[in-house]
Amino acid sequence: METQNNFKRTSELIIKFLKKELSVQEEKEFQQWLNASPENTALVESFRNTTHVQKEINYLSAVDINQGWADVSKQIAVKPTKTLAWSKILRYSAAAILIVSVGFGVYTFNAKIKSGNNETAAVHDIMPGSKKAVLQLADGSVIDLSDANLSLVGKNGKPTMWAKKGVLAFNPEENRNNRKGYNLLKTPRAGEYKMILPDGTKVWLNAVSSLRFPTSFNKSERRVELTGEAYFEVAHNKDMPFKVAFNKTEVEVLGTHFNISTFSGKSKTTLIEGSVKVTEGGKPQLLKPGEEAVVNNGAVNIHKTDTYKSIAWKEGAFYFKEDLMTDIMNQLFRWYDVEIIYKGNPDTKRYSGNIRRQATLNQALEMLNAVSGTKFSLEGRTVTVDFNK
């Protein structure tokens, strides 16, 4: 029976083979393993023949095999049993290295083996979210920004705003004297968008979120209203504090980097850099870098946190750290625009991992299944999570 070290070594060889990086000695070692069993050949071909591989093979250049295995070893205890064939374990170990190291589910693991021949299954899948948003202007007009490259020109012939490659920006000179009013940027399910406000503040808006902001800031403050989740890099201006209002909470800053999430009935403000003041119920509290303020039913709890967990979405990743499966599925619900149905009682186990948001839904579900053993099925745009063992 294969040992964990052998699984690691074989996984390394498979990855290097796919990347065409085998040395002469490794080539001999790989061929010896390959010729040892038809099942080995079928396993490798199942990776090579996956429909997504050729489009995404360039991502393999970023693989750090040693780090990938170190990460995977923490999550998956490779213990062969009578009910888990070594080939399946090897498939998950090699694939998990790819997913964790590259941060992208390169393989869909959907190959079927019949009569000794490999057959790739045609499986219904859902692509990840993309740059999608709708901008509602103060005059009531609506602009679909999805994949849009556009520019709006003012009366003097100069652009007042433009959108390009998923970024919306405003010309501060042309917006300074606009008549008062509010714009609203909204992202749907499976959508995200970046915006640069007239003062230079950068905002990344996550899926199912919105930001209401004035056509021009007044001379005393810069105030916006948030629903959902957004990451802010606020342009410094000591004379004009930047304020974010959400639920019954307000965050005030002069210039800093922070994330705010208002999903699930409670809000989280995570400070990356600088300082912010969180006011709830008229009571202000200061946050330091690396701290998070959780507001739930009017109560504020401030604690140290892993800041990357809060901003991973902005960096293009799902980053789970001691999360319940239901919390993980809530993220997939928003990013893939699917409905979630649960069978049985959701378990209380907590899971950690890292998957790129560019992965297809099936790729994400396969990885979660490999780590947790939870069964998933996809029909249309509905994911059924089966906790019945």
Question: What CATH number corresponds to the domain at position 357?
Answer: 3.55.50.30
> How many whole angstroms separate alpha carbon 93 and alpha carbon 355?
15
Domain count, the chain: 3
Residues 6+ apart with CB under 8 A from 43: 14, 87, 90, 91
Domain identity same for 58 and 73? yes
Same structural domain for residues 290 and 374?
Answer: no
Which of 120, 144, 166 is the C-terminal boundary of a domain? Answer: 120
* 207 band by pLDDT with thresholds 50, 70 and 90: very high
| Averaged pLDDT, 80-95 | 44
Indicate whether 107 and 241 sit together in one domain.
no
Q: Which residues, other chains included, contact 209 with Cβ-Cβ below 8 Å and sequence gap of 6+?
A: 186, 187, 226, 227, 228, 229, 230
* Residue appearing with tokens 């061929």: 31
Q: Which residue has the higher pLDDT, 92 or 148?
A: 148
pLDDT, tens only, 209-255: 999 999 888 888 999 999 999 999 999 998 899 999 999 999 999 88
Task: With respect to residue 263, please indicate whether it lies within any of the assigned structural domains.
Answer: yes
Note the pLDDT of residue 134. Answer: 96
Q: Are residues 306 and 322 in the same domain?
A: no
CATH of the domain at 294: 2.60.120.1440
Which residue has better confidence, 71 or 265? 265
Q: Is residue 126 part of a domain?
A: no
Residue 159, pLDDT > 90, answer: no
Average pLDDT over residues 335-353: 92
Share of the chain above pLDDT 90, in %: 46
Higher-scoring residue by pLDDT: 109, 218: 218
pLDDT attached to residue 202: 96
With cut-offs at 50, 70 and 90, classify the pLDDT of residue 19.
low
Exposure string of 115-148, with b = 16+ CB inside 10 Å and e = fewer, is: eeebeeeeeebbebbebbbbbbeeeeeebebbeb
Residue 10 binned pLDDT confidence (cut-offs 50, 70, 90): confident
More confident: 187 or 179:
187
Band of pLDDT at residue 308, cut at 50, 70 and 90? very high
Q: Where does a domain end: 94, 120, 146?
A: 120
pLDDT beyond 60 at 387? yes
- Model pTM score: 0.71
Domain boundary residue among 74, 93, 120? Answer: 120
Any domain includes 244: yes
Q: Is the pLDDT of residue 262 over 50?
A: yes
Token pair, residue 119, equals 């057959």
Rg (CA), the chain: 24
H-helix segments, the chain: 4-19, 24-35, 38-48, 53-56, 65-75, 86-102, 172-175, 307-311, 325-336, 361-372
pLDDT of residue 123: 62
- Residue 347: is its pLDDT beyond 60? yes
Task: Give the per-residue pLDDT at 178.
Answer: 60
pLDDT greater at residue 51 or residue 306? 306
Q: Are strands 167-170 and 191-196 parallel, antiparallel or unpaired?
A: parallel
In this prediction, residues 257-271 reach a mean pLDDT of 93
Q: Tokens 């790739």 label which residue?
A: 120
Residues 219 and 326 in one domain: no
Tell me if 125 is assigned to some domain: no
The answer on 95 and 198 residing in a single domain is no
CA distance 10 to 3: 11
Give me the domain span that covers residue 337: 316-386
Q: Does residue 214 fall inside a structural domain? A: yes
